Structure 1
């Protein structure tokens, strides 16, 4: 990954990285349905249904390649990832308890002929690298779908390994 932040010292923890890069986490999002956004089982923390919302309101609506550009999709992915981090920090008390990013699932609402999924999903992956370091980067699946909840362009599912 050609990322200038990936050369950041491995010793810095996630909380220090957030501070050093002036990454401010939004308020913890609340679910739009009957589900939990965070489930902790053994040493795994599952976060799902993470959307590009701030203050309970969508920041972007539409499909990539139709109503939204690739760059707008990347910004939506970044906001959704910041919500992942906010929810994990809220649940754990500190992101320093995350020992590894295990998995990242990215669903992207696209128009039929769009093939730019990786460029949009990379914004979420890059945010995780900024905060946790390249050595803790996960596997990833990226899916293009016809629509997502409330017309939003992206939805993330993330699995973290955590220390007790």
Structure 2
């Protein structure tokens, strides 16, 4: 078993299936979830997913419908969703040599200003799995309105070993 997959198993973490849009949502997504260019992988915004790829609950604004702890947990699920997409695209998560940048968008109630606490769920998971040498990254965390009323969406940029052009 690959090193990163072994670490995920050791932590009791399972990667979800790809996003399954809710039945009532008709949305075409003309984008690549992962775009590989040279030694970089650009990761489109992902949302919190259940293991079957459906959008995880609760949904809503952090500070009203979603608590800080629930927002933190949702951000961890976003990181797992991205790892699932990266595994599908790269074939091996051990190809990731550095997490460079994370942009966390938090669906917040007016006046809520603790976006970094929510984004820490994502960052903490990446650091637990990859360690500080590979997992340390720059990050922004901003409050916005998000599609499908999800509490968190994150995008990322990574450095990879043996970059290949994405076919997705």
The question of a shared fold, defined as TM-score above 0.5 by the shorter chain, is answered with yes
Q: Is the 8 A contact 1:13 1:132 kept in 2?
A: no
Distance 1:112 1:123, change over 3 A: same
Distance 1:30 1:93, change over 3 A: farther
Q: Is the 8 A contact 1:38 1:48 kept in 2?
A: yes
Answering whether residue 97 of structure 2 is matched by residue 107 of structure 1, we say no
Cα RMSD (Å) = 1.6
Tell me the residue number matched to 2:15: 25
For residues 10-57 of structure 1, give each alpha carbon's deviation from its aligned partner in whole angstroms, at most 9, with x where no partner exists.
Answer: xx9322211222211111336852221110000001111200123342
Answering whether residue 133 of structure 2 is matched by residue 143 of structure 1, we say no
Superposed displacement of residue 86, structure 1? 0.5
Moved over 6 A (4+): none
SS state of the match for residue 118, structure 2? helix
Distance 1:15 1:56, change over 3 A: closer
Please report the TM-score for the alignment, with normalisation by the length of structure 2.
0.84
Tell me the residue number matched to 1:45: 41
Aligned residues: 152
Q: Is the 8 A contact 2:19 2:54 kept in 1?
A: no
**Unaligned residue ranges in structure 1 (runs of 5+):** 1-11
Q: Is the 8 A contact 1:73 1:153 kept in 2?
A: yes
For residues 94-132 of structure 1, give each alpha carbon's deviation from its aligned partner in whole angstroms, at most 9, with x where no partner exists.
Answer: 110000001111000101111111110000000100111
